[in-house]
Amino acid sequence: MAYFITRKALSRRTLLRGVGAALALPLLDSMAPAMSAAPAVRSRFGAIYFPHGATMARWTPKDEGSDFTFSEILQPLEPFRNHINVISNLAHAQAYGPGGATGNHNRSSATFLSGAKAASGAQPRLGVTVDQVAVKTLGQDTPLPSLELMTEDSSMSCGEGLSCAYRNTVSWQSDISPLPMQNNPQVLFEQLFGDGADAAQRAARRAQSLSLLDSVAEQLKGLNRTLPAADRARLDRFATDVREIERRITQAGERSEGNVAIPARPNGIPDDLEQHIKLMYDLMALAWQAEITRISTFLMAKELSNAVYPKSGVRDSFHILSHHSNNEDNKARFAVLNRYHVGLLAYFLGKLAAVPDGDGTLLDHSLVLYGSGMSDGNSHNHDPLPLVLAGHAGGTLSANRHLVQAAKTPMSNLLLALLDKLGCQEEHFGDSTGRVEI
pLDDT digits (tens, 9 = 90+) for 264-303: 444 678 889 999 999 999 999 999 999 999 999 999 999 9
Q: Hey, how many other C-beta atoms are within 10 angstroms of the C-beta on 251?
A: 13
Structure confidence at residue 424 (pLDDT): 94
Report the half-sphere exposure of 230 (CA within 13 A, side-chain side).
Answer: 11
Structure confidence at residue 224 (pLDDT): 83
Structure confidence at residue 361 (pLDDT): 96
Question: Is 43-183+271-421 a CATH 3.90.1490 domain?
Answer: no
Give the confidence band of 64 by pLDDT, cuts at 50, 70, 90: very high
Structure confidence at residue 264 (pLDDT): 42
More confident site: 255 or 9: 9
Q: Say whether pLDDT at 199 is over 70.
A: no
Distance of CA 373 to the CA centre of its chain: 16
Backbone angles phi, psi at 413, to 5 degrees: -65, -35
Kindly give the pairing relationship between strand 44-49 and strand 295-299. parallel
Closest CA to 122 of 158, 170, 86, 93: 158
Q: In the chain, what percentage of residues exceed pLDDT 90?
A: 66
- d(CA 368, CA 384) in angstroms, rounded, equals 19
More confident site: 67 or 269: 67
- d(CA 172, CA 178) in angstroms, rounded, equals 4
pLDDT digits (tens, 9 = 90+) for 213-272: 777 888 888 888 888 888 888 888 888 888 888 888 877 766 544 443 433 444 678 889
Across 72-81, b (16+ Cβ under 10 Å) vs e yields bbbebbeebe
Q: In the chain, what percentage of residues exceed pLDDT 70?
A: 87
In 243-372, beta strands by DSSP E = 295-299, 356-357, 360-361, 366-371
Q: Domain residues of the chain, as ranges? A: 1-40+193-268, 43-183+271-421
3 state DSSP class of 134? helix
Structure confidence at residue 383 (pLDDT): 98
- d(CA 81, CA 70) in angstroms, rounded, equals 9
If you average pLDDT over residues 365-371, what whole number do you get?
98
Kindly give the pairing relationship between strand 356-357 and strand 65-66. unpaired
pTM comes to: 0.89
